[in-house]
Structure 1
Amino acid sequence: MKLALKKDVEVTFPEEYHAEDLAGKPAVFKVKIHEIKAKELPALDDEFAKDVDEEVETLAELTEKTKKRLEEAKRKNEAEGKLREELVAKASENAEVDIPQAMVDTELDRMMKEFEQRLQMQGMNLELYFQFSGQDEDALKEQMKEDAAKRVKSNLTLEAIAAAEKTYKCLTKKWKKNFQKWLKHTTCQLKISNKRSDLLKQ
């Protein structure tokens, strides 16, 4: 592109355009370039590294430090995720949950779509998979049914835990409020009692 360049741009307004007199009609916009801007990125060198982190002297040090930080964050997230999964799994095992079949069926459909997407990423589809595996859709769903039920149970358990936490917080807040009222009332009663004692002593 060059400065002062003029160009005609042909467009067609969409049928749902807010101005009814222009909806679905072609139009020509005359465009002229007045200014060209380019964003200059800083050079990735030692000076850049020092500006980003005062504790490093070179770009290599910054790269290594950033890599270690990302790896540490990844390990931490994986550890927290694993612990969360174990806690949810344990809670699900001990929880007595009535699982509606409709929820299991919905989860099964979701799992089937996820499986189909993974196949497509590998250049396959469900039809080819069924041919190679010798399974059909019903057999695959039957194979996934137990995992689908576990997923639903885990989700219901998490919802129950979240609801319990919310209730606990509300009760704790209410208890604190009532305790403060009681403390204020008791303090006032003690002050009155002390004043009476002082008057009797006189």
Structure 2
Amino acid sequence: MTITNPSTPAARRRDLILRSLGWSTIAALLLAPAIAMQMGAEGVVWTAGDFVFAGIILVGAGIVCELVAWRSGDMFYRSGAVLGLFACVALVWVNGAVGIIGSEDEAANLLYLGVIGIALIGAVMARFEARGMVLAMIGAALAQVVVAVAALIAGWGSTSAIYPRDIIGTTVIFALIWLLSAALFRQAGRKIA
């Protein structure tokens, strides 16, 4: 991955719009629960710690997106990185909010941290090069499926009213996100070759 900054006015304008949209989305995600709590929305009870945790995750992902945008001008690479980051953040968010395997209190949900770990370790091992990132994202997709299969075989989360649809549906969605990210990195790698 080479450091490239967009030099055309159209590319700079596009990047400014995308950056503004990204940071506005982060702000909206942090403000939404505060507004919902002020309006008395049932079930929305965030503590200061919840806001700090969400802020760290979302702002951290935003900073990583900024670094990716700074280091790569390739839109396929950028899109693959954003999808991979989205999958990581969404896995943490969903597990913290409601859980994938049963409720958020089900210890088996911690296995999804391993999925994120595989994606991150794979990315570091690939030195963030597009071709290696393909394998890291495919590895994360496979790990996502392995966790679901283990949960179904072991019967984890079977007390959920929508078991096993919750595990299967969530797994399909996340696996597709990881695989789409891999496809985007693959396209970015082709442009380099």
Please give the range of the TM-score, normalised by the shorter of the 2 chains.
under 0.3
Task: Give the TM-score, by structure 2 length.
Answer: 0.26
Task: Pick 1 or 2: higher relative contact order, CA cutoff 8 A, min separation 6.
Answer: 2
Higher strand share: 1
Task: Give the TM-score, by structure 1 length.
Answer: 0.25
Specify the structure having the higher radius of gyration (Cα).
1
